[in-house]
Structure 1
Amino acid sequence: MNAALSLSPPTKLPGDVGPIHFVGIGGIGMSGIAEVLLNHGYVVQGSDLRSSPITDRLAKLGGHIFVGQKAENLESAEVVVISSAIKSGNPELDEARRRGLPVVRRAEMLAELMRLKLNIAVAGTHGKTTTTTMVATLLDAGKFDPTVVNGGIIHAYGSNARMGQGEWMVVEADESDGTFNRLPATIAIVTNIDPEHMEHWGTEENLHQGFLDFTSNIPFYGLAICCTDDADVQTLVGKLTDRRVVTYGFNAQADVRAVGLHYKGGVAMFDIHLQNEDQVIEGCSLPMPGDHNVSNALSAVAVARHLGMSGDEIRRALAAFGGVNRRFTKVAEIDGVTIIDDYGHHPTEISAVLKAARQASEGRVIAIHQPHRYTRLHHHFEDFCSCFNEADVVAITEIYAAGEEPIEGASRDDLVAGLIRHGHRHARSITTQDELTALVKEQAKPGDMVVCLGAGTISAWANELPKRMKA
């Protein structure tokens, strides 16, 4: 065992620990941590079931990548990092425990990285990845040169992670398994709270307590930045009695507030009232539609003002925002039809994305949705039946099971029937990419927008659709 792992370790991750082995290194959450560790000079290796652009990037940075997961991959490893998706029975996890190696959860390793910096952690059921990207964008513009670990590919970086030389780190804080409470945030952002990942939380009371713990963990010199347009977050704010809080949103009570919001060619135009400062940042723009995206931007503005950025710097940074992969990403425009790829898979997200599509489109909105997990469809069935109201046409694919067994009453056809029963005028099921292509050719006209939504394989369908439409 490496001497750095002996008793009385230093308070920061030793430079000679390693090799550090990631089980599932190609995952969007794991790869960002691995990349930052590599850039810090640590010896990093990892395995995944298949190679990908992410694993190729890590290999170019010096990581040793194994394709396939087996016990012998751990031959030289001294520390093993796993996500909550890795369970007993995984050959590498079982081998690590047989050998007595330290097994570290993803959030624990992220927390170790965060101890090297001052930190901004972005939490919330929806909008974390976009908000993390926006905070990073503004800090870049303010010359803070932040380190970033995100849950999506930031277009400006071509990666979900970046090593900066500044004192600040911006991270996405995943609440799905409760481990976000281990993150030593200096500034904690909460975008919203919805009953999601209830297989971990059990009750909404536990979920709300988790977010309260997350925000209460900030130091006395820290800051909680909370969206009070969300009723549950507003309740959270009322319980944060011993820490500084800045609120944001569209409501008149928000400290950082967007006013005069309108859209022109899919670009959001608005002013920002800084109510605590009695100032207005006029003439702001964000090159993407969606009230939810403007809301996310306000949290980044709150961070920027807290760190001393000027109104002009903020205005320029918002106007230049480059976006994040699979968050209202334009794939192509074919014969006047715009094709959008989006990660939205929860009813709240789907509703927000389709509203944004309506704001950005001059024609009709055609939604293609691949439900993600039977349990999610089952738990939120009524919400799924009403979240497609902004779409003129809805097509539902087979469910992406993510390893789950079917649940009675929560199938693709059940959802289509539910949409029709709830009054949707044009909902249908599709099974294959050929059927998707035929539907788009039949329904889409110049000026229309096709929005592919889901967390599974629907992204591949969206990216292959332009070629199929030309065939």
Structure 2
Amino acid sequence: MKQRIQHIHLTGIGGIGMSGIAELLHNQGFTVQGSDMNENANVRRLRELGIVVSIGHRAENIAGADVVVVSSAIAADNVEIVAAREQGIPVIPRAEMLAELMRMKQGIAIAGSHGKTTITSLIAHGMEAAGLDPTYVIGGRLIASGSNARLGESPWLVAEADESDGSFLRLSPMIAVVSNIDPEHLDHYGSFDALLDAFRQFVNRVPFYGRVVLHHEHPHVAALRADLHKPVTTYGSSAQADLHLVESTSDASGQFFTAAMADGTDLGRFRLALPGRHNAENALAAVAVLLDLGIDLEVIRSALARFEGIQRRFQCTALGPGTLIDDYGHHPREVMATLATARRCWPDREITVIFQPHRYTRTRDLMQQFFGAFDDAHTVALLPVYAAGEPPIEGADSRAIGEG
């Protein structure tokens, strides 16, 4: 690619996924620039790296670009996209650029409705601990480095696979992980069956000599195995899973959990800074991948114990007599998992939730699930919906959630 492309513009560069791609391209020596509608921490970090970021979308922003990479949140009539097409400059989605980066390496792609960022982070961290020096792009910033992207020297690239617009089907990973599949993004797919079919296509993009890692207890994920004729590893809480959780105990500082294999092999005890049984299962998905890469179990155990966590993933800040937890979860299942974890960690505390729904379409499609999502909270404050570029939908707002 570098022989033909030198100057890359990213429209919507301030998003977490786009900023990670920008950082990787910059570190590979490309001239990278971009634009976003708002200043944020991602924009500030990119500027610190020397990347030019314009606030606001304007046709002149794309001057000199050989290609324009566009976020899924950017509309087709965006002034920069229109200008690029008028000038004959290729316009590609973020996933196509990620696929190009993965094409030059051996990819590990993590897909699913929930847990992608945690699993991806743990895999990348474990590979670094083992000296494998991976490249990675993560949908959240690691607390240890403050970054969500890194350019490594090894042939491995670890990345989240975004199913929201079907663009994960551009990826051809060596190893694929699917954590769960919930009825989401139906505005794009049209039906849940179409979403399930997309996941079937995704796991079948893994070559016959690769590996697919599946959550054993999730029925729609487990059903993917029927269509696969390649190595599969399952994980979960059931003893029938290839790697399964035996016991977990959480407190405010994290958790200890024990795990075993289906043949009875004891994997021993693990320490993880992330509380919650769902995070223990996320860790097992990472363990499955790391073992497949030939990493010693004791190296994996040590890596999990030293993992400091991810920004905005049950990130705790002490505030005098209270504790502030910042969590990115915006799906009802994620909300319930976060609140259940908080309840286990602080059983005698009152829990107050401040929640901002994300996207009108998601709020509409998941309205019934939101009605019971806050049962573990004493008090709930609902902020206006974060539109992410979508127009309002009548009845799909915070008031409707509160009245449900």
CA distance in 2, matches of 1:57, 1:412: 32
Q: CA 1:401–1:20 in structure 2 vs 1: closer, same or farther (change >3 Å)?
A: closer
Q: Return the letter of the residue paired with 2:329.
A: G
After alignment, is 355-364 or 126-135 more displaced? 355-364
After alignment, is 50-59 or 127-136 more displaced? 50-59
Q: CA 1:401–1:63 in structure 2 vs 1: closer, same or farther (change >3 Å)?
A: closer
Q: Return the letter of the residue paired with 2:233.
A: V
Q: Return the letter of the residue paired with 1:312.
A: E
CA distance in 2, matches of 1:411, 1:56: 31
Q: Which residue of 1 aligns with 2:339?
A: 354
**CA contact under 8 A between 2:184 and 2:365: conserved in structure 1?**
no
Point out the structure with max Rg over C-alpha: 1
**CA contact under 8 A between 1:23 and 1:92: conserved in structure 2?**
yes
Q: Which residue of 1 aligns with 2:165?
A: 177
**What's the CA shift for 1:210?**
0.5
1:31 to 8, 14, 19: 19
After alignment, is 64-73 or 214-223 more displaced? 64-73
CA distance in 2, matches of 1:98, 1:406: 30
**What's the CA shift for 1:381?**
1.9
**TM-score normalised per structure 2:** 0.95
In the TM superposition, 1:85-124 aligns within 5 A as 85-124=73-112
Q: Which residue of 2 aligns with 1:262?
A: 249
In the TM superposition, 1:237-252 aligns within 5 A as 237-240=225-228, 242-252=229-239
**CA contact under 8 A between 1:30 and 1:83: conserved in structure 2?**
yes
**What's the CA shift for 1:167?**
1.9
Give deviations 1:153-208, integer Å, cap 9, x for gaps: 11122111011112211101100000101112110000000011111111111100
SS in 2 for 1:304: helix
CA distance in 1, matches of 2:54, 2:380: 41
Please, which runs of 5 or more residues in structure 2 have no aligned partner? none
**CA contact under 8 A between 1:266 and 1:359: conserved in structure 2?**
no
2:320 to 331, 335, 346: 335
**CA contact under 8 A between 1:131 and 1:297: conserved in structure 2?**
yes
Q: Which residue of 1 aligns with 2:258?
A: 271
**What's the CA shift for 1:405?**
4.2
SS in 2 for 1:81: strand
Q: Which residue of 2 aligns with 1:63?
A: 51
SS in 1 for 2:256: strand
CA distance in 2, matches of 1:88, 1:124: 26
**TM-score normalised per structure 1:** 0.82
1:204 to 192, 196, 199: 192
**CA contact under 8 A between 2:239 and 2:262: conserved in structure 1?**
no
**CA contact under 8 A between 2:251 and 2:275: conserved in structure 1?**
no
CA distance in 1, matches of 2:7, 2:396: 44
2:312 to 308, 321, 326: 326
CA distance in 1, matches of 2:164, 2:331: 14
**What's the CA shift for 1:373?**
2.8
**CA contact under 8 A between 1:266 and 1:361: conserved in structure 2?**
no
Q: CA 1:399–1:27 in structure 2 vs 1: closer, same or farther (change >3 Å)?
A: closer
2:36 to 33, 48, 65: 48
CA distance in 2, matches of 1:355, 1:266: 15
Q: Which residue of 1 aligns with 2:388?
A: 402
CA distance in 1, matches of 2:397, 2:14: 30
**CA contact under 8 A between 1:16 and 1:42: conserved in structure 2?**
no
CA distance in 2, matches of 1:288, 1:211: 27
Q: CA 1:56–1:398 in structure 2 vs 1: closer, same or farther (change >3 Å)?
A: closer
2:180 to 183, 187, 192: 192
**CA contact under 8 A between 1:153 and 1:324: conserved in structure 2?**
yes
**What's the CA shift for 1:368?**
1.9
**What's the CA shift for 1:98?**
0.5
Q: CA 1:69–1:129 in structure 2 vs 1: closer, same or farther (change >3 Å)?
A: same
CA distance in 2, matches of 1:214, 1:281: 30
1:387 to 354, 369, 373: 373
Q: CA 1:65–1:15 in structure 2 vs 1: closer, same or farther (change >3 Å)?
A: farther
Q: CA 1:378–1:186 in structure 2 vs 1: closer, same or farther (change >3 Å)?
A: same
In the TM superposition, 1:420-431 aligns within 5 A as none
Q: CA 1:59–1:410 in structure 2 vs 1: closer, same or farther (change >3 Å)?
A: closer
**What's the CA shift for 1:367?**
1.9
CA distance in 1, matches of 2:364, 2:40: 32
What is the number of equivalent residue pairs in this alignment?
403
Q: CA 1:398–1:311 in structure 2 vs 1: closer, same or farther (change >3 Å)?
A: same
**CA contact under 8 A between 2:14 and 2:42: conserved in structure 1?**
yes
Please, which runs of 5 or more residues in structure 1 have no aligned partner? 1-12, 419-471
Q: Which residue of 2 aligns with 1:445?
A: none
Q: Which residue of 1 aligns with 2:149?
A: 161
SS in 1 for 2:138: strand
Q: CA 1:403–1:67 in structure 2 vs 1: closer, same or farther (change >3 Å)?
A: closer
**CA contact under 8 A between 2:110 and 2:176: conserved in structure 1?**
yes
**CA contact under 8 A between 2:12 and 2:73: conserved in structure 1?**
no
Q: CA 1:409–1:47 in structure 2 vs 1: closer, same or farther (change >3 Å)?
A: closer
**CA contact under 8 A between 2:73 and 2:388: conserved in structure 1?**
no
Give me the CA root mean square deviation.
Answer: 1.7
1:231 to 219, 238, 247: 219
**CA contact under 8 A between 2:73 and 2:389: conserved in structure 1?**
no
**What's the CA shift for 1:410?**
3.4
After alignment, is 360-369 or 350-359 more displaced? 360-369
Q: Which residue of 2 aligns with 1:309?
A: 295
**CA contact under 8 A between 1:248 and 1:256: conserved in structure 2?**
yes
CA distance in 2, matches of 1:336, 1:392: 17
Identity of aligned residues (%): 46
Q: Return the letter of the residue paired with 2:384.
A: E
**What's the CA shift for 1:259?**
0.5
Give deviations 1:392-438, integer Å, cap 9, x for gaps: 332223333334444444333332222xxxxxxxxxxxxxxxxxxxx
Q: CA 1:403–1:78 in structure 2 vs 1: closer, same or farther (change >3 Å)?
A: closer
**What's the CA shift for 1:222?**
0.6
Q: Which residue of 2 aligns with 1:80?
A: 68
CA distance in 1, matches of 2:60, 2:207: 43
